[in-house]
Amino acid sequence: MFDRQIQIFFQKPLKLISIFFLKFLSPNQMTIIGFGFGILMCILIFLKLYLFALFLLILNRLCDGLDGSMARIVSPTPIGGYLDIVFDFIIYAGFVLSFGLSDEGNFVITMILLFCYFATGSTFLAKATIMPMKNYDKNEKNEISKSFYYAQGLVEGMETFAYMILCLIFPSMYFSISLIFAILCIITAIFRIFVTYKEFYD
């Protein structure tokens, strides 16, 4: 919901940092490094080392912001956009799966949330797939150019990041936090279906 506003706010500092990292790394290499941080985070969650996992989550999200900024400087590529979204979804799922596997009491809500992730993820990716049929110009309607159409909703990247932070700071409240987040995810999926149907039906 707040992704665009926050991305615009951080665009300039990220660009300065990106120029520095481009001397040593490609955007895709930054994406892979961030993915590595995310996988390590999931392992630490399983081991219940939540503060260390929080540190790796921040590194993962920083890399996620930098790879896009770096790509916009040197020109985005299809494979870069592909790796970015695929790795994000793997980490999102791995995050809740790690909580579910580390404590039997978290298993049911984890399964519910994974279902909700499928709902939000499919509505997000499906719209990105069909938007070229409307001759959509991403540079015209998005303040920050991306390699794919970005469907808005109540739950986007920043809200997911906030959810993950809350879970790591208050792991004993994982069930309650995840239940609220799952409801928001379902609302987002329904909203996207409704908006997309109206957009194409009309």
Residue 140, pLDDT > 70, answer no
The answer to whether 97 and 110 have CB atoms below 8 angstroms apart is yes
pLDDT value of residue 4 = 58
Residues belonging to the chain? 202
At 72-84, the pLDDT tens digits run 888 888 898 889 9
Domain total in the chain: 1
Query: At 53, which CATH number?
Result: 1.20.120.1760
The answer to whether 63 and 74 have CB atoms below 8 angstroms apart is no
Q: What is the pTM of this model?
A: 0.82
For residue 148, what are the CA distances in angstroms to 107, 115, 143, 159? Answer: 33, 24, 13, 20
Stretch 171-198: mean pLDDT: 91
pLDDT value of residue 10 = 64
pLDDT value of residue 171 = 96
CA angle 14, 64, 177 (to 5 degrees): 115
| Tokens 């409704």, residue located | 194
Distance of CA 69 to the CA centre of its chain: 15
- Local structure of residue 76 (DSSP, 8 states): -
Ranges of H-type helices in the chain? 3-21, 27-46, 50-74, 78-102, 107-130, 138-141, 157-169, 174-201
At 37-56, the pLDDT tens digits run 999 999 999 999 999 999 99
Which residues form the domain of 72? 3-201
Question: What does pLDDT average to over the chain?
Answer: 85
Percent above pLDDT 90 for the chain: 55
Stretch 132-137: mean pLDDT: 58
**End-to-end C-alpha distance for the chain, whole angstroms:** 25
